[in-house]
Structure 1
Amino acid sequence: MPLRVEPDRTFRQALAAADRPLAGMWVCSGSPLIAELCAGAGLDWLLIDAEHSPNGLESILAQLQAVRGYPVQAVVRPPVNDTVLLKQYLDLGVQDLLIPMVNSAAEAQAAIAAVRYPPHGVRGVGSALARASRWNRIPDYLARAAETISVTVQIETGAAVAAVEEILAVDGVDAIFLGPSDLAASMGLLGEQEHPTVRAAVEHCLAAAKTAGKPAGVNAFGEATARAYMDAGASFLLVGADVALLARGTEALADKFIPTNPDGGAPLGGTGDAPSSY
Protein backbone atom coordinates (compact mmCIF):
# COMPACT_ATOMS: atom_id res chain seq x y z
CA MET A 1 0.00 0.00 0.00
CA PRO A 2 1.62 3.32 -1.04
CA LEU A 3 1.91 6.12 1.49
CA ARG A 4 -0.62 8.92 1.37
CA VAL A 5 1.05 12.26 2.05
CA GLU A 6 -0.04 15.85 2.50
CA PRO A 7 1.50 18.93 0.88
CA ASP A 8 3.64 21.23 2.98
CA ARG A 9 2.36 24.49 4.39
CA THR A 10 2.46 27.35 1.89
CA PHE A 11 4.13 30.71 2.34
CA ARG A 12 0.63 32.23 2.25
CA GLN A 13 -0.31 30.12 5.28
CA ALA A 14 2.95 30.94 7.05
CA LEU A 15 2.34 34.67 6.61
CA ALA A 16 -1.25 34.36 7.81
CA ALA A 17 -0.15 32.52 10.95
CA ALA A 18 2.72 34.87 11.81
CA ASP A 19 2.54 37.33 14.68
CA ARG A 20 5.63 39.25 13.52
CA PRO A 21 7.43 40.01 10.26
CA LEU A 22 9.13 36.93 8.80
CA ALA A 23 12.88 37.26 8.21
CA GLY A 24 14.58 35.36 5.42
CA MET A 25 17.65 35.24 3.23
CA TRP A 26 18.62 34.66 -0.38
CA VAL A 27 20.16 31.33 -1.42
CA CYS A 28 22.05 32.15 -4.61
CA SER A 29 24.97 29.71 -4.61
CA GLY A 30 23.15 26.90 -6.41
CA SER A 31 24.48 24.51 -3.77
CA PRO A 32 22.20 22.09 -1.89
CA LEU A 33 24.82 21.93 0.87
CA ILE A 34 24.78 25.70 1.35
CA ALA A 35 20.99 25.71 1.17
CA GLU A 36 20.84 23.12 3.94
CA LEU A 37 23.30 25.09 6.06
CA CYS A 38 21.11 28.17 5.68
CA ALA A 39 17.94 26.18 6.40
CA GLY A 40 19.25 25.32 9.85
CA ALA A 41 20.08 28.90 10.80
CA GLY A 42 16.74 29.64 12.46
CA LEU A 43 15.38 32.03 9.83
CA ASP A 44 11.74 31.90 8.77
CA TRP A 45 12.20 31.53 5.02
CA LEU A 46 14.68 31.07 2.21
CA LEU A 47 14.49 32.44 -1.32
CA ILE A 48 16.10 30.04 -3.80
CA ASP A 49 16.87 32.37 -6.68
CA ALA A 50 17.06 31.45 -10.36
CA GLU A 51 16.83 34.96 -11.82
CA HIS A 52 20.35 36.14 -11.00
CA SER A 53 21.88 32.85 -9.83
CA PRO A 54 23.22 29.66 -11.45
CA ASN A 55 20.14 27.57 -10.79
CA GLY A 56 18.37 25.19 -13.16
CA LEU A 57 15.62 22.65 -12.59
CA GLU A 58 17.96 19.99 -11.22
CA SER A 59 19.69 22.26 -8.71
CA ILE A 60 16.39 23.73 -7.54
CA LEU A 61 15.04 20.23 -6.97
CA ALA A 62 18.14 19.23 -5.01
CA GLN A 63 17.86 22.33 -2.81
CA LEU A 64 14.17 21.74 -2.13
CA GLN A 65 15.01 18.22 -1.03
CA ALA A 66 17.94 19.45 1.09
CA VAL A 67 15.92 22.00 3.07
CA ARG A 68 12.66 20.11 3.45
CA GLY A 69 13.62 18.54 6.77
CA TYR A 70 14.01 21.95 8.41
CA PRO A 71 11.32 24.29 9.80
CA VAL A 72 11.86 26.92 7.12
CA GLN A 73 9.70 28.05 4.22
CA ALA A 74 11.31 27.60 0.79
CA VAL A 75 10.26 30.17 -1.82
CA VAL A 76 11.63 29.96 -5.37
CA ARG A 77 12.11 32.82 -7.83
CA PRO A 78 12.12 31.85 -11.52
CA PRO A 79 14.06 33.94 -14.02
CA VAL A 80 10.92 35.06 -15.86
CA ASN A 81 7.13 35.01 -15.69
CA ASP A 82 6.75 32.23 -18.26
CA THR A 83 3.89 29.72 -18.41
CA VAL A 84 6.02 26.77 -19.52
CA LEU A 85 8.79 27.40 -17.00
CA LEU A 86 6.32 27.85 -14.14
CA LYS A 87 4.70 24.52 -15.07
CA GLN A 88 8.07 22.82 -14.76
CA TYR A 89 8.78 24.49 -11.41
CA LEU A 90 5.41 23.42 -10.03
CA ASP A 91 5.75 19.86 -11.27
CA LEU A 92 9.12 19.41 -9.55
CA GLY A 93 7.51 20.41 -6.26
CA VAL A 94 7.87 24.19 -5.90
CA GLN A 95 4.90 25.35 -3.83
CA ASP A 96 5.84 28.98 -3.22
CA LEU A 97 6.75 31.26 -6.11
CA LEU A 98 8.14 34.78 -6.22
CA ILE A 99 7.51 36.08 -9.74
CA PRO A 100 9.94 38.81 -10.85
CA MET A 101 9.22 41.98 -12.81
CA VAL A 102 5.42 42.02 -12.63
CA ASN A 103 4.51 45.44 -13.96
CA SER A 104 0.75 45.25 -14.50
CA ALA A 105 -2.42 43.49 -13.47
CA ALA A 106 -2.36 41.62 -16.79
CA GLU A 107 1.10 40.22 -16.04
CA ALA A 108 -0.06 39.19 -12.57
CA GLN A 109 -3.10 37.48 -14.08
CA ALA A 110 -0.84 35.57 -16.46
CA ALA A 111 1.20 34.26 -13.52
CA ILE A 112 -1.93 33.12 -11.70
CA ALA A 113 -3.27 31.40 -14.81
CA ALA A 114 0.04 29.55 -15.15
CA VAL A 115 -0.27 27.97 -11.69
CA ARG A 116 -3.92 26.88 -11.97
CA TYR A 117 -5.37 23.97 -13.90
CA PRO A 118 -8.21 24.52 -16.39
CA PRO A 119 -10.86 25.83 -16.31
CA HIS A 120 -9.35 28.39 -13.91
CA GLY A 121 -5.96 28.57 -15.60
CA VAL A 122 -3.68 27.05 -18.21
CA ARG A 123 -1.33 24.82 -16.22
CA GLY A 124 -0.55 21.64 -18.15
CA VAL A 125 -1.70 18.41 -16.49
CA GLY A 126 1.13 16.02 -15.72
CA SER A 127 0.83 15.48 -11.99
CA ALA A 128 0.99 11.70 -12.19
CA LEU A 129 4.55 12.08 -13.49
CA ALA A 130 5.58 14.78 -11.04
CA ARG A 131 6.95 15.32 -7.57
CA ALA A 132 4.28 18.01 -7.06
CA SER A 133 1.67 15.34 -6.33
CA ARG A 134 4.31 12.99 -4.95
CA TRP A 135 3.48 10.84 -7.95
CA ASN A 136 -0.24 10.71 -7.12
CA ARG A 137 0.36 10.08 -3.42
CA ILE A 138 -1.32 13.36 -2.41
CA PRO A 139 -5.03 12.54 -2.43
CA ASP A 140 -7.12 14.58 -4.90
CA TYR A 141 -4.11 16.63 -5.95
CA LEU A 142 -5.68 17.91 -9.19
CA ALA A 143 -8.69 19.30 -7.32
CA ARG A 144 -6.57 20.69 -4.49
CA ALA A 145 -3.52 21.93 -6.36
CA ALA A 146 -4.37 25.64 -6.20
CA GLU A 147 -4.52 25.56 -2.42
CA THR A 148 -1.04 24.00 -2.25
CA ILE A 149 0.59 26.92 -4.13
CA SER A 150 1.28 30.52 -3.17
CA VAL A 151 2.17 33.33 -5.55
CA THR A 152 4.02 36.48 -4.55
CA VAL A 153 4.68 39.02 -7.29
CA GLN A 154 7.62 41.37 -7.33
CA ILE A 155 7.12 45.13 -7.61
CA GLU A 156 10.40 46.53 -8.86
CA THR A 157 9.74 49.24 -11.45
CA GLY A 158 8.07 52.62 -11.50
CA ALA A 159 5.35 51.16 -13.72
CA ALA A 160 4.63 48.45 -11.15
CA VAL A 161 4.42 51.02 -8.36
CA ALA A 162 1.92 53.01 -10.42
CA ALA A 163 -0.18 49.86 -10.93
CA VAL A 164 0.26 48.37 -7.46
CA GLU A 165 -3.40 48.72 -6.44
CA GLU A 166 -4.54 46.90 -9.60
CA ILE A 167 -1.91 44.19 -9.11
CA LEU A 168 -2.97 43.66 -5.51
CA ALA A 169 -6.59 43.29 -6.64
CA VAL A 170 -5.79 40.29 -8.87
CA ASP A 171 -7.39 37.14 -7.48
CA GLY A 172 -4.65 34.66 -6.59
CA VAL A 173 -1.92 37.19 -5.85
CA ASP A 174 -1.13 36.29 -2.26
CA ALA A 175 1.48 38.96 -1.55
CA ILE A 176 3.77 41.52 -3.14
CA PHE A 177 7.50 41.91 -2.67
CA LEU A 178 9.42 45.15 -3.22
CA GLY A 179 12.80 45.18 -4.93
CA PRO A 180 14.37 48.57 -4.13
CA SER A 181 17.48 48.04 -6.30
CA ASP A 182 15.63 47.52 -9.57
CA LEU A 183 13.08 50.11 -8.52
CA ALA A 184 15.84 52.65 -8.05
CA ALA A 185 17.28 51.80 -11.46
CA SER A 186 13.90 52.24 -13.14
CA MET A 187 13.65 55.69 -11.56
CA GLY A 188 17.03 56.79 -12.90
CA LEU A 189 18.65 56.27 -9.50
CA LEU A 190 20.83 53.23 -10.22
CA GLY A 191 22.59 52.05 -7.05
CA GLU A 192 20.63 54.45 -4.83
CA GLN A 193 18.05 52.17 -3.25
CA GLU A 194 18.19 54.27 -0.08
CA HIS A 195 17.21 57.45 -1.98
CA PRO A 196 14.20 59.18 -0.37
CA THR A 197 12.20 58.85 -3.61
CA VAL A 198 12.77 55.09 -3.66
CA ARG A 199 11.99 54.73 0.03
CA ALA A 200 8.77 56.69 -0.51
CA ALA A 201 7.74 54.41 -3.38
CA VAL A 202 8.35 51.31 -1.26
CA GLU A 203 6.36 52.74 1.63
CA HIS A 204 3.53 53.66 -0.76
CA CYS A 205 3.32 50.02 -1.84
CA LEU A 206 3.43 48.78 1.75
CA ALA A 207 0.51 51.06 2.55
CA ALA A 208 -1.40 49.91 -0.55
CA ALA A 209 -0.95 46.28 0.49
CA LYS A 210 -2.23 47.01 3.96
CA THR A 211 -5.31 48.66 2.49
CA ALA A 212 -5.85 45.63 0.23
CA GLY A 213 -5.45 43.25 3.16
CA LYS A 214 -2.48 41.43 1.63
CA PRO A 215 1.07 40.96 2.96
CA ALA A 216 3.95 42.94 1.49
CA GLY A 217 7.66 42.22 1.80
CA VAL A 218 10.86 43.99 0.89
CA ASN A 219 14.53 43.33 0.28
CA ALA A 220 16.61 45.20 2.88
CA PHE A 221 20.11 44.08 3.85
CA GLY A 222 20.83 47.07 6.09
CA GLU A 223 19.45 46.52 9.59
CA ALA A 224 18.27 50.10 10.05
CA THR A 225 16.48 50.04 6.71
CA ALA A 226 14.94 46.64 7.42
CA ARG A 227 13.60 47.80 10.77
CA ALA A 228 12.24 51.00 9.23
CA TYR A 229 10.34 48.98 6.65
CA MET A 230 9.05 46.68 9.37
CA ASP A 231 7.74 49.74 11.18
CA ALA A 232 6.14 50.84 7.90
CA GLY A 233 4.22 47.59 7.66
CA ALA A 234 6.42 45.02 5.92
CA SER A 235 5.20 41.50 6.72
CA PHE A 236 8.33 39.71 5.47
CA LEU A 237 11.88 40.65 4.54
CA LEU A 238 15.04 39.33 2.98
CA VAL A 239 17.92 40.49 5.15
CA GLY A 240 20.97 38.72 3.71
CA ALA A 241 22.34 36.34 1.09
CA ASP A 242 24.53 33.27 1.25
CA VAL A 243 26.98 34.55 -1.35
CA ALA A 244 27.25 37.98 0.28
CA LEU A 245 27.85 36.48 3.71
CA LEU A 246 30.56 34.23 2.32
CA ALA A 247 32.19 37.06 0.37
CA ARG A 248 32.26 39.46 3.33
CA GLY A 249 33.30 36.74 5.78
CA THR A 250 36.25 35.60 3.69
CA GLU A 251 37.28 39.21 3.09
CA ALA A 252 37.27 39.75 6.84
CA LEU A 253 39.59 36.78 7.28
CA ALA A 254 41.94 38.16 4.67
CA ASP A 255 41.93 41.57 6.37
CA LYS A 256 42.91 39.92 9.65
CA PHE A 257 45.73 37.75 8.41
CA ILE A 258 47.07 39.10 5.10
CA PRO A 259 49.15 42.27 5.49
CA THR A 260 48.88 44.82 2.71
CA ASN A 261 51.15 47.55 1.43
CA PRO A 262 50.64 50.96 3.01
CA ASP A 263 49.22 52.20 -0.30
CA GLY A 264 46.54 49.51 -0.23
CA GLY A 265 48.08 47.47 -3.04
CA ALA A 266 48.78 43.75 -3.33
CA PRO A 267 49.61 41.69 -0.23
CA LEU A 268 53.23 42.10 0.90
CA GLY A 269 55.40 39.46 -0.68
CA GLY A 270 52.73 38.51 -3.22
CA THR A 271 52.04 39.24 -6.86
CA GLY A 272 48.44 40.31 -6.51
CA ASP A 273 47.22 37.04 -8.02
CA ALA A 274 47.35 35.02 -4.79
CA PRO A 275 48.66 35.54 -1.27
CA SER A 276 52.19 34.33 -0.65
CA SER A 277 52.95 31.64 1.90
CA TYR A 278 53.96 32.67 5.43
Structure 2
Amino acid sequence: MVNLKIRDRLDAGEPVFGTFVKIAAPAVVELAALGGFDFVIVDREHGCFTDDQVENMIRAAEAAGIGTIVRTPDALEPAILHALDSGATGVQLPALRGAAQAAAAARFARHFPDGERGLARANRSADYGAMPLTDYFAQSRRILVSVHVENREMVDDIDALCAVPGVDILFLGTADLSQSLGVPGEQDHPSVRAAVDRVIAAAAAAGRHVGAVAGSADEASALAERGVTYIVWQSDIAMLRAAMRRGADALAPLRRGLR
Protein backbone atom coordinates (compact mmCIF):
# COMPACT_ATOMS: atom_id res chain seq x y z
CA MET A 1 0.00 0.00 0.00
CA VAL A 2 1.46 3.33 -1.09
CA ASN A 3 1.96 5.88 1.70
CA LEU A 4 -0.33 8.78 0.77
CA LYS A 5 -0.21 10.74 4.03
CA ILE A 6 1.32 13.80 2.40
CA ARG A 7 -1.41 13.73 -0.24
CA ASP A 8 -3.98 13.70 2.56
CA ARG A 9 -2.33 16.67 4.24
CA LEU A 10 -2.03 18.68 1.04
CA ASP A 11 -5.67 17.98 0.20
CA ALA A 12 -6.57 19.26 3.69
CA GLY A 13 -4.70 22.50 3.05
CA GLU A 14 -1.80 21.64 5.35
CA PRO A 15 1.90 22.08 4.52
CA VAL A 16 4.28 19.14 4.19
CA PHE A 17 8.02 19.16 4.78
CA GLY A 18 10.65 16.96 3.16
CA THR A 19 14.27 16.79 2.14
CA PHE A 20 16.22 15.64 -0.90
CA VAL A 21 18.06 12.35 -0.46
CA LYS A 22 21.09 11.92 -2.69
CA ILE A 23 22.89 9.16 -0.77
CA ALA A 24 21.75 5.65 -1.70
CA ALA A 25 21.33 4.34 1.84
CA PRO A 26 18.00 3.34 3.44
CA ALA A 27 19.41 4.44 6.80
CA VAL A 28 19.32 8.04 5.56
CA VAL A 29 15.60 7.71 4.90
CA GLU A 30 15.06 6.28 8.39
CA LEU A 31 17.03 9.16 9.89
CA ALA A 32 14.89 11.66 7.96
CA ALA A 33 11.78 10.06 9.45
CA LEU A 34 13.27 10.08 12.95
CA GLY A 35 14.12 13.74 12.44
CA GLY A 36 10.46 14.55 11.78
CA PHE A 37 10.27 14.99 8.01
CA ASP A 38 7.02 14.07 6.26
CA PHE A 39 8.66 12.78 3.10
CA VAL A 40 11.91 12.35 1.22
CA ILE A 41 12.68 13.05 -2.43
CA VAL A 42 14.94 10.32 -3.81
CA ASP A 43 17.02 12.28 -6.28
CA ARG A 44 17.64 10.30 -9.45
CA GLU A 45 18.36 13.46 -11.42
CA HIS A 46 21.48 14.52 -9.50
CA GLY A 47 22.07 11.45 -7.33
CA CYS A 48 23.34 7.95 -8.19
CA PHE A 49 20.65 5.29 -7.71
CA THR A 50 19.88 1.98 -9.37
CA ASP A 51 16.30 0.77 -9.74
CA ASP A 52 16.61 -1.69 -6.89
CA GLN A 53 18.17 0.97 -4.64
CA VAL A 54 15.18 3.24 -5.27
CA GLU A 55 12.80 0.44 -4.35
CA ASN A 56 14.68 -0.20 -1.11
CA MET A 57 14.61 3.50 -0.25
CA ILE A 58 10.83 3.40 -0.72
CA ARG A 59 10.61 0.34 1.52
CA ALA A 60 12.55 2.13 4.23
CA ALA A 61 10.29 5.18 4.00
CA GLU A 62 7.13 3.10 4.22
CA ALA A 63 8.46 1.20 7.23
CA ALA A 64 9.30 4.52 8.90
CA GLY A 65 5.86 5.95 8.11
CA ILE A 66 6.80 8.73 5.67
CA GLY A 67 6.21 9.35 1.97
CA THR A 68 8.63 8.95 -0.91
CA ILE A 69 8.76 11.17 -3.97
CA VAL A 70 11.16 10.10 -6.72
CA ARG A 71 12.77 12.87 -8.73
CA THR A 72 13.22 11.06 -12.01
CA PRO A 73 16.28 11.64 -14.23
CA ASP A 74 13.96 12.92 -16.95
CA ALA A 75 10.25 13.09 -17.75
CA LEU A 76 10.18 9.95 -19.88
CA GLU A 77 7.84 7.01 -19.39
CA PRO A 78 10.25 4.29 -18.14
CA ALA A 79 11.56 6.30 -15.17
CA ILE A 80 8.07 7.43 -14.16
CA LEU A 81 6.61 3.94 -14.48
CA HIS A 82 9.35 2.25 -12.47
CA ALA A 83 9.14 4.76 -9.58
CA LEU A 84 5.38 4.38 -9.28
CA ASP A 85 5.34 0.60 -9.69
CA SER A 86 7.93 0.45 -6.89
CA GLY A 87 5.43 2.13 -4.57
CA ALA A 88 6.48 5.78 -4.58
CA THR A 89 4.03 8.35 -3.23
CA GLY A 90 4.67 10.31 -6.39
CA VAL A 91 7.17 11.59 -8.91
CA GLN A 92 8.91 14.91 -9.41
CA LEU A 93 9.66 15.61 -13.04
CA PRO A 94 12.54 17.78 -14.31
CA ALA A 95 13.60 18.78 -17.82
CA LEU A 96 10.20 20.01 -19.00
CA ARG A 97 9.79 22.98 -21.31
CA GLY A 98 6.13 23.83 -21.48
CA ALA A 99 2.61 22.72 -20.66
CA ALA A 100 2.40 20.25 -23.55
CA GLN A 101 5.41 18.30 -22.28
CA ALA A 102 4.06 18.40 -18.72
CA ALA A 103 0.72 17.04 -19.93
CA ALA A 104 2.42 14.15 -21.72
CA ALA A 105 4.52 13.31 -18.64
CA ALA A 106 1.50 13.47 -16.33
CA ARG A 107 -0.29 10.96 -18.54
CA PHE A 108 2.56 8.50 -18.03
CA ALA A 109 1.77 8.64 -14.29
CA ARG A 110 -1.99 8.10 -14.58
CA HIS A 111 -4.05 5.07 -15.58
CA PHE A 112 -7.00 5.25 -17.98
CA PRO A 113 -9.10 7.38 -18.26
CA ASP A 114 -6.71 10.02 -16.90
CA GLY A 115 -3.61 8.78 -18.68
CA GLU A 116 -1.76 5.89 -20.23
CA ARG A 117 0.39 4.44 -17.44
CA GLY A 118 1.17 0.80 -18.13
CA LEU A 119 -1.03 -1.57 -16.15
CA ALA A 120 0.74 -4.44 -14.39
CA ARG A 121 -0.01 -5.33 -10.78
CA ALA A 122 2.80 -7.79 -10.05
CA ASN A 123 4.75 -5.06 -8.24
CA ARG A 124 5.04 -3.32 -4.86
CA SER A 125 2.49 -0.61 -5.56
CA ALA A 126 -0.25 -3.25 -5.97
CA ASP A 127 0.95 -5.50 -3.14
CA TYR A 128 2.40 -7.79 -5.79
CA GLY A 129 -1.04 -8.42 -7.27
CA ALA A 130 -2.83 -9.05 -3.96
CA MET A 131 -4.53 -5.64 -3.94
CA PRO A 132 -8.03 -5.66 -5.47
CA LEU A 133 -8.17 -3.87 -8.81
CA THR A 134 -10.66 -1.25 -7.61
CA ASP A 135 -8.42 -0.41 -4.64
CA TYR A 136 -5.37 -0.22 -6.87
CA PHE A 137 -7.03 2.22 -9.26
CA ALA A 138 -8.30 4.35 -6.36
CA GLN A 139 -4.78 4.48 -4.91
CA SER A 140 -3.19 5.25 -8.27
CA ARG A 141 -5.48 8.22 -8.84
CA ARG A 142 -4.07 9.84 -5.69
CA ILE A 143 -0.34 9.60 -6.38
CA LEU A 144 1.36 13.00 -6.60
CA VAL A 145 2.83 14.50 -9.74
CA SER A 146 5.18 17.43 -9.19
CA VAL A 147 6.68 19.24 -12.18
CA HIS A 148 9.70 21.49 -12.09
CA VAL A 149 9.25 25.10 -13.12
CA GLU A 150 12.91 25.79 -13.75
CA ASN A 151 13.21 27.63 -17.06
CA ARG A 152 11.85 30.59 -18.96
CA GLU A 153 9.60 28.39 -21.12
CA MET A 154 7.76 26.93 -18.15
CA VAL A 155 7.23 30.36 -16.61
CA ASP A 156 6.00 31.81 -19.91
CA ASP A 157 3.55 28.91 -20.21
CA ILE A 158 2.45 29.03 -16.58
CA ASP A 159 -1.26 29.63 -17.15
CA ALA A 160 -1.51 26.66 -19.50
CA LEU A 161 0.61 24.60 -17.11
CA CYS A 162 -1.78 25.33 -14.23
CA ALA A 163 -4.61 23.94 -16.38
CA VAL A 164 -2.89 20.62 -17.13
CA PRO A 165 -4.91 17.70 -15.71
CA GLY A 166 -2.96 15.45 -13.37
CA VAL A 167 -0.32 17.96 -12.27
CA ASP A 168 -0.54 18.49 -8.52
CA ILE A 169 2.53 20.54 -7.61
CA LEU A 170 4.55 23.23 -9.37
CA PHE A 171 8.07 22.98 -7.99
CA LEU A 172 10.20 26.12 -8.23
CA GLY A 173 13.76 25.42 -9.36
CA THR A 174 15.34 28.81 -8.89
CA ALA A 175 18.92 27.68 -9.53
CA ASP A 176 18.17 26.45 -13.04
CA LEU A 177 15.70 29.29 -13.53
CA SER A 178 18.47 31.80 -12.87
CA GLN A 179 20.50 30.21 -15.66
CA SER A 180 17.58 30.22 -18.05
CA LEU A 181 17.01 33.92 -17.34
CA GLY A 182 20.66 34.77 -17.99
CA VAL A 183 21.74 35.39 -14.40
CA PRO A 184 23.29 32.03 -13.40
CA GLY A 185 23.51 31.52 -9.66
CA GLU A 186 21.73 34.80 -8.83
CA GLN A 187 18.62 33.26 -7.34
CA ASP A 188 17.64 36.55 -5.68
CA HIS A 189 17.93 38.54 -8.92
CA PRO A 190 14.86 40.71 -9.69
CA SER A 191 14.09 38.71 -12.83
CA VAL A 192 14.09 35.45 -10.87
CA ARG A 193 11.97 36.95 -8.10
CA ALA A 194 9.50 38.23 -10.70
CA ALA A 195 9.25 34.78 -12.27
CA VAL A 196 8.66 33.18 -8.86
CA ASP A 197 5.97 35.77 -8.09
CA ARG A 198 4.26 34.98 -11.37
CA VAL A 199 4.26 31.23 -10.72
CA ILE A 200 2.94 31.55 -7.17
CA ALA A 201 0.17 33.91 -8.26
CA ALA A 202 -0.91 31.67 -11.14
CA ALA A 203 -0.86 28.57 -8.95
CA ALA A 204 -2.95 30.27 -6.27
CA ALA A 205 -5.52 31.35 -8.84
CA ALA A 206 -5.74 27.82 -10.24
CA GLY A 207 -5.74 26.06 -6.87
CA ARG A 208 -2.44 24.24 -7.47
CA HIS A 209 0.18 23.51 -4.84
CA VAL A 210 3.61 25.14 -5.04
CA GLY A 211 6.85 23.56 -3.90
CA ALA A 212 10.26 25.07 -3.23
CA VAL A 213 13.56 24.48 -1.45
CA ALA A 214 14.35 26.26 1.82
CA GLY A 215 17.93 26.62 3.03
CA SER A 216 17.10 28.30 6.33
CA ALA A 217 14.28 28.71 8.82
CA ASP A 218 13.71 32.24 7.58
CA GLU A 219 13.38 31.02 3.99
CA ALA A 220 10.96 28.28 5.02
CA SER A 221 8.85 30.78 6.96
CA ALA A 222 8.79 33.21 4.04
CA LEU A 223 7.72 30.44 1.66
CA ALA A 224 4.95 29.30 3.98
CA GLU A 225 3.68 32.86 4.32
CA ARG A 226 3.39 33.03 0.54
CA GLY A 227 1.29 29.91 0.40
CA VAL A 228 3.98 27.37 -0.53
CA THR A 229 2.83 24.08 0.98
CA TYR A 230 5.42 21.58 -0.30
CA ILE A 231 8.63 22.73 1.37
CA VAL A 232 11.91 20.90 0.89
CA TRP A 233 14.63 21.50 3.46
CA GLN A 234 18.08 21.30 1.89
CA SER A 235 19.35 17.73 1.29
CA ASP A 236 20.99 14.88 3.15
CA ILE A 237 24.38 15.90 1.74
CA ALA A 238 23.97 19.54 2.78
CA MET A 239 22.93 18.58 6.31
CA LEU A 240 25.69 15.98 6.65
CA ARG A 241 28.30 18.41 5.36
CA ALA A 242 27.19 21.07 7.85
CA ALA A 243 27.20 18.59 10.74
CA MET A 244 30.69 17.37 9.77
CA ARG A 245 31.91 20.95 9.64
CA ARG A 246 30.50 21.73 13.08
CA GLY A 247 32.20 18.66 14.51
CA ALA A 248 35.54 19.47 12.93
CA ASP A 249 35.29 23.09 14.10
CA ALA A 250 34.61 21.92 17.66
CA LEU A 251 37.74 19.78 17.59
CA ALA A 252 39.96 22.41 15.95
CA PRO A 253 41.08 24.00 19.28
CA LEU A 254 42.26 20.60 20.48
CA ARG A 255 44.25 20.11 17.29
CA ARG A 256 45.99 23.45 17.83
CA GLY A 257 46.59 22.67 21.48
CA LEU A 258 48.46 19.48 20.62
CA ARG A 259 50.95 21.24 18.39
TM-score normalised by length of structure 1: 0.85
Matched, 1:66 2:56: no
Secondary structure of 1:103's partner?
A: coil
> How is 1:150-189 mapped onto 2 (pairs within 5 angstroms)?
150-189=144-183
Residue 247 of structure 1: CA displacement? 0.8
Cα distance in 1 for residues equivalent to 2:28 and 2:64: 13
> How is 1:61-210 mapped onto 2 (pairs within 5 angstroms)?
61-118=55-112, 120-127=114-121, 129-140=122-133, 141=135, 143-144=137-138, 146-210=140-204
Matched, 1:247 2:229: no
Q: Which moved more, 1:9-18 or 1:39-48?
A: 9-18
Residue 90 of structure 1: CA displacement? 1.6
Q: Which moved more, 1:43-52 or 1:65-74?
A: 65-74
Aligned to 1:16: 11
Cα distance in 2 for residues equivalent to 1:238 and 1:108: 21
Residue 10 of structure 1: CA displacement? 5.6
Residue 18 of structure 1: CA displacement? 4.1
Q: Indicate how the Cα distance of structure 1 residues 32 and 189 shifts in structure 2: closer, same or farther if over 3 A, else same.
A: same
RMSD: 2.3
The structure having more radius of gyration, on CA atoms, is 1
Q: Indicate how the Cα distance of structure 1 residues 229 and 197 shifts in structure 2: closer, same or farther if over 3 A, else same.
A: farther
Corresponding pairs, count: 258
Q: Indicate conservation of the 8 Å contact 2:42/2:68, yes or no.
A: yes
Secondary structure of 2:211's partner?
A: strand
Residues 144-166 of structure 1: CA deviation (Å, up to 9, x unaligned): 35324221111011111111111
Q: Which runs of 4+ in 1 moved over 6 A?
A: none
Residues 193-230 of structure 1: CA deviation (Å, up to 9, x unaligned): 12232122112211111000111111121332332222
Cα distance in 2 for residues equivalent to 1:8 and 1:35: 14
Aligned to 2:30: 36
Aligned to 1:212: 206
Structure 2 gaps, min length 5: none
For 1:250, the aligned partner's letter is M
Q: How many percent of aligned residue pairs carry the same amino acid?
A: 30
Q: Indicate conservation of the 8 Å contact 2:6/2:38, yes or no.
A: no
Q: Indicate conservation of the 8 Å contact 2:86/2:123, yes or no.
A: yes
Residues 93-113 of structure 1: CA deviation (Å, up to 9, x unaligned): 123111113221111111121
